[in-house]
């Protein structure tokens, strides 16, 4: 079978970057996740349970789609890692005339730390690398060609109208500075806010945004003396954008050179990003956390005091501009009544190859070529509500909603909603997230365990252990080495204050 863009190439392209993921749902709501919760709620470091936290690193790997379910003998992770062949009988293809998507991503959170400057003020410094390959808003006929590697017989000699297709591939490195402070703290009412400013370095970027395409697929004979046939795509109308960073730009790039790009201006791409967020806590019994030392009353800073916590954040505002006269290409394509040999893409392996074939197959009048483009960050709205059911037992509801347009040149946070019950202490934590992800379409179950500063989990555990018919897999793990608890005095000196009952 001929393959123009097989699924294995999709995954191989991502992992070749050596660097957007789901959101560590089991960990992100925790009051003891430190730096990790800050990435979804920058206000969280104010009034933290720790006065100092040193984070080493974590990695979060995610693969998901809403088109093909897998029920083979091997896990999805093993199939990808070992490049195993997947039989057609092991796939369940969803054909419902709805747009398709596929996401493969890696989120590496590097060395970071948080310091509480005072009971009201906290700051943090974080490092991060995110790589993502996202196929979004793909019409079903195009999705089937990408999946199978060739049009099937039933697709020939039919008119396909209003077809769309978006692909974005990005690798970004970033350094972030976060500041958060308590805005209001009186009785049962508590409010804090935070913001993160990020210097973002673009390491790699490519995109193909097809806003509209009407086409017919047929077979034709090659000119004599060949007797072979090829698949001809008659493009009646097409409006698209195609941009990429040349592979030549990456030749000879050492690790030290890539790291120097983070703070330098000669990187392939440069930009800025920001996160903004607020957190409100309802503390109906806050008096029970008071204690007396040497005749003075203090509030126990080591304990969570809320019955209800509500957080809202606007994440990843901003973008990265790529500009280079020799190694950045951006095409605006407006094609009408063009014939394209689909088989010509068979041996294409990288964006340079695809660009060469496109240039060969389309007439010069179809192109407008530039040497720069801007790729957006995965801007999203994050909302979560956390409710204390009992001592150390919580249930959390979370929404991540993508704010990027379907035609955007941008990384993308696929929308999801999740409910996560958890048992939480400073030393041990267990969480069991249940979610609708991939734009609220696919059901997933996960689990997370934290022991002190070490955590491991998955937002979609079915793909790891081959449970059901998974549409993806996710796994994450990380380590904090130092979390200094807050507290003014030794426990032996503490005399707890009994709350006064209101008449």
Residues 217, 220, 223, 228, CA torsion sign: positive
DSSP 327: T
**Cα 474 to the center of its chain, rounded Å:** 11
Burial (CB < 10 A; 0-12, 13-18, 19+), residue 408, is buried
What's the pLDDT score for residue 107? 93
pLDDT at position 498: 56
Give the SS3 label for residue 15: helix
Per-residue DSSP letter, 222: P
In the prediction, which pLDDT does 476 show? 94
Domain ranges in the chain are 7-496
pLDDT of residue 76: 66
Report how far residue 155's alpha carbon sits from residue 163's, in angstroms, rounded to the nearest whole number: 14
The 3-state DSSP composition of the chain as helix, strand, coil percent (nearest 5) reads 15, 50, 30
Residues in the chain: 503
Rounded CA-CA distance 245/327 in Å is 6
Cis before 225? omega within 30: yes
pLDDT of residue 488: 53
In what side-by-side order are the strands of the sheet with 290-293? 296-299, 290-293, 495-496
Handedness of CA 119, 123, 129, 130 (dihedral sign): positive
Question: Looking at residue 14, what is its pLDDT?
Answer: 36
The Cα–Cα gap between 230 and 215 comes to: 16
Q: By C-alpha distance, which of 54, 62, 171 is closest to 457?
A: 62
Q: How far is CA 403 from CA 37, 193, 274, 377, 441, in A?
A: 20, 21, 14, 10, 17
- DSSP annotation of 6 reads -
The single residue listed with the structure tokens 């607020």 is 278
Instruction: Please tell me the predicted confidence (pLDDT) of residue 232.
Output: 84
Predicted local distance difference test score (pLDDT) of residue 253: 56
pLDDT at 10: 39
pLDDT along the chain (503 residues), means of 10: 37 37 83 89 92 92 85 69 71 84 90 93 94 90 81 84 90 94 94 97 91 87 69 87 80 58 71 97 87 77 90 97 86 87 81 82 77 94 96 96 93 93 94 92 91 92 74 89 67 51 51
């Amino acid at each position: 079978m001929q393959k123009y863009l097989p699924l294995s190439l999709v995954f191989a392209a991502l992992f070749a970057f050596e660097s957007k993921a789901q959101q560590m749902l089991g960990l992100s709501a925790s009051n003891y996740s430190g730096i990790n919760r800050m990435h979804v709620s920058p206000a969280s470091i104010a009034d933290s349970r720790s006065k100092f936290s040193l984070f080493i690193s974590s990695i979060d790997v995610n693969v998901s789609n809403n088109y093909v379910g897998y029920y083979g003998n091997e896990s999805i992770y093993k199939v990808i890692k070992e490049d195993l062949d997947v039989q057609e009988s092991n796939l369940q293809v969803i054909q419902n005339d709805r747009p398709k998507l596929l996401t493969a991503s890696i989120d590496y959170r590097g060395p970071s730390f948080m310091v509480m400057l005072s009971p009201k003020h906290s700051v943090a410094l974080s490092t991060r690398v995110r790589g993502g390959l996202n196929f979004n808003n793909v019409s079903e006929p195009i999705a089937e060609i990408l999946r199978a590697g060739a049009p099937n017989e039933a697709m020939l000699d039919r008119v396909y109208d209003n077809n769309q297709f978006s692909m974005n591939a990005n690798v970004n490195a970033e350094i972030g500075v976060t500041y958060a402070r308590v805005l209001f703290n009186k009785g049962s009412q508590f409010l804090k806010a935070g913001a993160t400013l990020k210097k973002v370095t673009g390491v790699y970027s490519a995109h193909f945004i097809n806003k509209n395409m009407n086409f017919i697929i047929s077979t034709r004979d090659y000119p004599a003396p060949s007797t072979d046939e090829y698949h001809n795509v008659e493009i009646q109308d097409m409006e698209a954008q195609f941009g990429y960073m040349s592979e030549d730009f990456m030749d000879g790039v050492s690790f030290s050179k890539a790291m120097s790009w983070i703070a330098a201006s000669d990187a392939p791409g440069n930009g800025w990003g920001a996160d903004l967020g607020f957190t409100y806590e309802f503390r109906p019994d806050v008096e029970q956390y008071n204690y007396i030392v040497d005749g003075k009353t203090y509030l126990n800073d080591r304990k969570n005091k809320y019955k209800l916590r509500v957080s809202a954040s606007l994440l990843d505002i901003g973008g990265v501009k790529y500009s280079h006269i020799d190694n950045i290409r951006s095409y605006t394509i407006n094609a009408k009544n063009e014939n394209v040999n689909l088989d010509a893409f068979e041996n294409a392996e990288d964006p340079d190859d695809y660009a060469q074939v496109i240039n060969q197959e389309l007439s010069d009048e179809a192109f407008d070529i530039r040497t720069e483009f801007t790729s957006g960050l995965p801007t999203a709205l994050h909302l979560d509500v956390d409710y204390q059911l009992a001592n150390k037992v919580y249930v959390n509801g979370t929404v991540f909603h993508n704010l990027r347009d379907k035609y955007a040149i941008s990384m993308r946070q696929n929308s999801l909603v999740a409910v996560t019950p958890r048992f939480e202490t400073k030393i041990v934590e267990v969480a069991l997230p249940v979610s609708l992800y991939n734009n609220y379409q696919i059901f997933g179950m996960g689990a997370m365990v934290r022991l002190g500063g070490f955590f491991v989990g998955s937002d979609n555990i079915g793909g790891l252990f081959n449970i059901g018919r998974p549409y993806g897999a996710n796994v994450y793990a990380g380590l904090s080495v130092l979390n200094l608890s807050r507290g003014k005095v030794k426990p032996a000196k503490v005399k707890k204050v009994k709350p006064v009952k209101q008449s």
